Amino acid sequence: MKTPGASAAVIKLKLGPGDDEDGGVDLAPGATLQKIVDFDLKEEGNHVLAVTVSYYEATDVSGRTRTFRKLYQFICKASLIVRTKPGPLPAGSKGQRRWVLEAQLENCGEDAMRLERVVMNLEPGLKYSDCNWEASGGSKPLLHPGEAEQVCFVIEEVLGKGRGSGEGVREVDGRIVFGVLGIGWRGEMGNRGFLSTGKLGTRHLKPKIAV
């Protein structure tokens, strides 16, 4: 498989269980062989799947090895658009900083999808509360093409013992890094899809000091 992110390199794929690259399979006249290959599509753009088959053609008096190759080109498009919006919340009961992270998940594909789970994978020093259907015991949202679902998380820092400050909250150039948002869904035919965002966060607002 050649992906958009790999300039010249290709990814070698293994066939299903029981595949023996060093051996072979004897096919009687009229017999067929079927194999399945799995590959997680993680990039948008043009993909090329190259399939190479080598076989030995035997006759009563001689035999010869033949090889042929087929290329399958397809374009991978995003099935889901994720828009996020972070915002500050009042400090917690122990003075810990708190934020709200809202996300809009829009089905931009051509088929309906059922959201399976939406979770935050946070950086150390943070924890979150889930405000969505999983926390309330609601049914999993079904999104038809063009429909969107709003999700929300409350994120807060974990205070160190006796310090009154964050315990290892990651900040980069004045920006607090929350982590990534992970989303899983199923398509109409039961096929699974998943998406992980880039690192999400917000600017660290320092308190103003009156002079």
State whether 15 and 53 are in the same domain: yes
**Are residue 104 and residue 189 in the same domain, yes or no?**
yes
Pick the last residue of a domain from 41, 62, 77: 77
18 or 119, which is more confident: 119
End-to-end Cα, the chain, rounded Å: 63
Is 190 domain-assigned?
A: yes
Q: Could you read off the pLDDT of 20-56 as tens digits, one per residue?
A: 555 678 888 889 888 888 888 778 889 999 999 888 8
45-58 and 113-122 strand pairing: unpaired
The domain of 65 spans: 1-77
| Residue 195 sits in the same domain as residue 97 | yes
Residue 54 lies in a domain: yes
Question: Which CATH number do you get for residue 138?
Answer: 2.60.40.10
Count of domains forming the chain: 2
Contacts of 202 by beta carbon, 8 Å cutoff, 6+ apart: 86, 87, 88, 99, 175, 176, 178
Verify that 85 and 166 share a domain, yes or no.
Answer: yes
Which amino acid makes up residue 117? R
Rounded distance, CA 161 to CA 192, Å? 42
pTM: 0.69
Asked whether residue 118 is domain-assigned, the answer is: yes
Last residue of a domain, one of 77, 103, 120: 77
Closest CA to 51 of 12, 9, 5, 6: 12
The tens digit of pLDDT for each residue in 62-104 reads: 788 899 999 999 888 888 999 999 999 999 898 889 999 999 9
